[in-house]
Structure 1
Amino acid sequence: MGRAPITERVTTAAKGDVVVFLIGMRINRWRAVRHWPPVLAAMPRMLRELSRDKSLGMLGYRAYTAGPRTYTVVQYWESHEKLLAYASATRRRHHPAWAAFNRRARGAKGAVGIWHETYIVPAGSYEAIYHGMPPFGLGEAHGVEPVARRGERAAQRLAD
């Protein structure tokens, strides 16, 4: 089962800059079955690799679907340097998956689309609150602490 909700008000224990990486795919043509399943299967393999080896820098993630054809993963990273190092590491799962996607994309005529966005959020430009929730999002990735340590109001936490 999942983890128990934290009953008091807490906030993220993140210190310094926060790196948020969003990545996803969209199936544009269902009948192009040879093109989209390999793309869909690549992400869970990368997430397993990153989850097993914490030294790679991914702190946590959440996967979401937006209807039957769009998939998104929100990832939290220690640093943008570690994110970029993973993306370019030839002996890790991302590099061969990216090369395979590019080979397939030439003949796929848009059957499947991929996207990503990277956000480096400076310290003092993010805040979070969790109440009655198990660890989630930024709080799950960086841990949580009592709200009082960072300020009872969002404006106080943003000034941190």
Structure 2
Amino acid sequence: MGASPIEGRVTAAADGDVVVFLIGMRVNRWRSVRHWAPVFGAMRRMLTELARDPDAGLLGHRLLTSGPREYTVLQYWESREKLLAYSADRDRLHRPAWAAFNRRARDAAGRVGIWHETYVVPAGSYETIYSGMPRHGLGAAFGVEPVGRRGERAAERLGAAAPAGG
């Protein structure tokens, strides 16, 4: 099941800067369910909250796993300002979840690990292509358009000159 592949070659219809936010957790001790289950549950609730409010700025997300212990959520945001506003908003789920995690972390002794990375990628510094794929990644977050509108080669889509002889 799932989305149907798009015929032909397309690229993400993103304009301007792109904000990529990675957040994850690692279960270090499976038996310590009371330490890692709240983290996992809080992330699901936050993603649901954000999906219900498109103005919050989350454009798309995808759950990634690295084996049975590590979970990452790849997120695309409208702007760094909206990401930071969400994380600081006392009326949203993130602030109380973060405070609760910090309280539990004092007794957790490394039973669960969390991390995040934020990247603000300037316009002209990212490039995408999708062939025979459903909407994916930046294409899912921003929509897609025919490759020719942005350039047939990766170098063109990145705004760089094509290499000599190629």
Q: What TM-score do the two structures reach when normalised by structure 2?
A: 0.94
Query: What residue is the counterpart of 1:144 in the other structure?
Result: 144
Equivalent-residue separation in structure 1 for 2:17 and 2:64 (angstroms): 24
Deviation at 1:75, TM superposition (A): 0.2
Correspondence list, 1:1-160, <5 A: 1-159=1-159
- Name which one, 1 or 2, has greater alpha-carbon Rg: 2
In the alignment, residue 123 of structure 2 is paired with which amino acid? A
Q: Secondary structure at the match of 2:40?
A: helix
Equivalent-residue separation in structure 2 for 1:126 and 1:80 (angstroms): 16
Deviation at 1:2, TM superposition (A): 1.5
Equivalent-residue separation in structure 1 for 2:8 and 2:24 (angstroms): 33
Residues 20-55 of structure 1: per-residue CA shift (max 9 Å, x gap):
000000011112221111111111100001111000
Query: What residue is the counterpart of 2:163 in the other structure?
Result: none
RMSD: 0.9
Q: Secondary structure at the match of 2:119?
A: strand
Q: Secondary structure at the match of 2:130?
A: coil
Deviating above 4 A after TM superposition, structure 1's stretches of 4 or more consecutive aligned residues are none
In the alignment, residue 10 of structure 2 is paired with which amino acid? V
Residues 44-88 of structure 1: per-residue CA shift (max 9 Å, x gap):
100001111000000000001111110000000000000000000
Equivalent-residue separation in structure 1 for 2:90 and 2:116 (angstroms): 19
Equivalent-residue separation in structure 1 for 2:121 and 2:102 (angstroms): 30
State percent identity of aligned pairs: 71
Q: What TM-score do the two structures reach when normalised by structure 1?
A: 0.98
Q: Which moved more, 1:110-119 or 1:26-35?
A: 26-35
Equivalent-residue separation in structure 2 for 1:33 and 1:129 (angstroms): 40
